[in-house]
């Protein structure tokens, strides 16, 4: 087994490259997609236990964005050729893939529900609550920039700034 230790800000892989699969053991990674104009968009957060990139678990495809450590993280490298061969040899691994995708799909569905059914204050509080469930001893405002929170929660940065200025907005 090969392991990679990443420090905050280090990039595990870059958008458009092809390569290995990974399992995050400790830490937190963000996946940022760069638009043609160079603008960065945070579109995914990877948590401990996740097998990724999700879109390449059954067949190879270029990385959809840059995976960047948001805190010190430890990642297991899974050789993609070995992984795909093991899938063919051991159908049980398809269950692992299915469960991994199901977990991520549920997380994304919750995020979509939050984006479409609640106020900005409720979205922000839901984000803080979610993060505290995963990392109870870490302040999310020490990990995420205001821009990242805004992008992830579908808020304008100005809206987030207004929420942060009023302590009564925190639940």
Kindly report the CATH number assigned to the domain that includes residue 58.
Answer: 2.60.120.10
pLDDT at 74: 98
d(CA 133, CA 79): 31
Give the confidence band of 60 by pLDDT, cuts at 50, 70, 90. Answer: confident
Please state whether beta strands 11-13 and 2-6 pair in parallel, antiparallel, or not at all (unpaired).
Answer: unpaired
Any domain includes 131: no
The H-or-E segment that residue 63 falls in is none
75: number of CA atoms within 13 Å, CB side? 29
Say if residues 34 and 84 touch (Cβ distance below 8 Å). Answer: no
Cα 125 from Cα 141, distance rounded (Å): 12
3-class state of residue 160 by DSSP: helix
Structure confidence at residue 6 (pLDDT)? 98
Residue range 64-69: average pLDDT? 95
Whether the per-residue pLDDT at 170 is higher than 70: the answer is no
Residue 66 lies in a domain: yes
Give domain status of residue 98, yes or no: no
Q: Give per-residue pLDDT as tens, 72-84.
A: 999 999 988 888 8
15, pLDDT greater than 70? yes
Confidence of residue 123 (pLDDT cuts 50, 70, 90): confident
CA–CA gap between residue 97 and residue 17 (Å, rounded): 22
The answer to whether position 140 is within a domain reads: no
Confidence label for 167 from pLDDT (cuts 50, 70 and 90): low
Mean pLDDT estimate for the chain: 88
Neighbours of 31 (CB within 10 A): 22
Mean pLDDT of 127-146: 88
Residue 69 resides in a domain: yes
| Cβ partners under 8 Å of residue 116, min gap 6 | none
Domain range enclosing 22: 1-90
CA distances 36 to 40, 67, 87, 88, Å, are: 10, 18, 35, 37
Mean pLDDT value across residues 155-169:
84
Residue 5 forms part of a structural domain:
yes
Tokens encoding 85: 């061969």
* Domain-located, residue 61: yes
Helix (H, G, I), strand (E, B) or coil at 90: coil
Helix residue spans in the chain (DSSP H): 80-89, 92-117, 120-134, 140-143, 146-153, 157-165
- The answer to whether residue 86 sits within a structural domain is yes
Number of folded domains in the chain? 1
Q: What is the pLDDT of residue 171?
A: 55
């Amino acid at each position: 087994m090969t392991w990679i230790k990443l420090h905050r800000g280090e990039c595990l892989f870059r958008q458009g490259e092809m390569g290995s699969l990974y399992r995050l053991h400790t830490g937190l990674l963000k996946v940022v997609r760069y638009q043609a104009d160079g603008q960065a968009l945070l579109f995914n957060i990877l948590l401990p236990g996740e097998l990724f990139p999700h879109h390449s678990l059954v067949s190879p495809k270029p990385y959809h964005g840059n995976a960047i450590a948001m805190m010190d993280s430890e990642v297991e490298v899974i050789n993609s050729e070995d992984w795909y061969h093991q899938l063919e040899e051991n159908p049980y691994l398809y269950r692992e893939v299915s469960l991994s995708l199901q977990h991520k799909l549920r997380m994304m569905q919750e995020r979509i529900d939050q984006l479409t059914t609640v106020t900005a204050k409720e979205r922000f509080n839901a984000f803080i609550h979610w993060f505290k469930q995963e990392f109870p001893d870490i302040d999310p405002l020490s990990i995420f920039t205001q821009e990242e929170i805004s992008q992830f929660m579908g808020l304008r940065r100005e809206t987030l700034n207004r929420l942060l200025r009023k302590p009564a907005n925190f639940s």
